Structure 1
Amino acid sequence: MAFPSIAHVALTVSDLASSAAWYELLLGVSPVLDEDAGGFWHTVYPLAGGALLGLHAHPQTDSDDRFDARRVGLDHVGFGCANREELQAWQSRLDELGIAHGGIVDAGYGSGLSFKDPDGNALEFFAPPS
């Protein structure tokens, strides 16, 4: 039996309104779901290939807390690009949106373009080696 692909990723955010606006600008889409999920608010965006990206707002979340990849748990979320040209297009798009990034970094296993959301959640565009 083959292991299934990832269906969705959900990120906890400190300010849902601010994060939702940021993600809508980045993704270029509106949420397909925006509801009270029983104890937390759940806003969900469609991604290419049928996957979903969710934002969760919990009433208990400390608004001053920020993501730290050095803690146990999620390190980053990587979005796949077909090739380096697509990666370069995303770099230009991040520049247009005023989103700081680390520039394209090439390695033997592929090329990545890292950036962060308003809560510091680590995100990356990644292309396989050409």
Structure 2
Amino acid sequence: MAEFPPIAHIAVTVSDLERSTRWYRALFGSEPVLDEDETNGGFHHTVFALANGQLFGLHTHSRGARISAFDEHRPGLDHVAFACRDRSELEAWCHRLDDLDIQHGGIVDAHYGSGVQFRDPDNIALEFFAPPG
């Protein structure tokens, strides 16, 4: 069996695509590479290209949409963590969050690494994470 493949993309469902696109555009510091309306499929998505060929997508669904706040305590997604090389890069991202007026919990250290937790406009839990050392 081949080595398990890396994650190619993550897509999160958002309540307001325009608002979330503005927010993630500021966070990522880049423009989306795809903005597509799948009228027949009942959803619209916007996709950002991240480092190492990874993609981060924002979706809205027009059919069967149930608007409720994100809750990592329900089955499904808990959070999305973005990898930082080291604590220095983690600190830089912490300052970037400050510059963008994005509330966060500050750097929290643990034996398995350090992280900064924050949330998007739909309350989706996000994190910057660096390995120990």
Is TM more than 0.5 here? yes
* Cα root mean square deviation, aligned: 0.8
Q: Deviations over 1:32-80 (max 9, x none)?
A: 11001321001000011110000001113344x1110000011000000
Cα distance in 1 between the residues matched to 2:70 and 2:53: 26
Conserved in 2, the CA contact under 8 Å of 1:77 and 1:122?
yes
Who is 1:8 aligned against?
Answer: 9
* Identity in percent: 61
Cα distance in 2 between the residues matched to 1:42 and 1:117: 17
Task: Indicate the SS of the match to 1:85.
Answer: helix
TM-score, length-scaled by structure 1: 0.97
TM-score, length-scaled by structure 2: 0.94
Cα distance in 1 between the residues matched to 2:96 and 2:48: 19
Amino acid paired to 2:81: G
Conserved in 2, the CA contact under 8 Å of 1:14 and 1:62?
no
The number of residue pairs the alignment matches comes to: 129
More moved, 4-13 vs 38-47:
38-47
Task: Indicate the SS of the match to 1:115.
Answer: strand
Amino acid paired to 1:18: R
Cα distance in 2 between the residues matched to 1:61 and 1:32: 25
Task: Indicate the SS of the match to 2:128.
Answer: strand
Structure 1: 5+ residue stretches without partners: none
Q: Does 1:111 align with 2:109?
A: no
Q: Does 1:75 align with 2:78?
A: yes
Cα distance in 1 between the residues matched to 2:85 and 2:10: 20
Who is 1:34 aligned against?
Answer: 35
Amino acid paired to 2:59: H
Deviating beyond 3 angstroms after TM superposition, the runs of 4 or more aligned structure 1 residues are none
- Describe how 1:87-106 pairs up with structure 2 within 5 A: 87-106=90-109
Q: Does 1:126 align with 2:126?
A: no
Cα distance in 1 between the residues matched to 2:10 and 2:114: 22
Amino acid paired to 1:71: R
Task: Indicate the SS of the match to 2:10.
Answer: strand
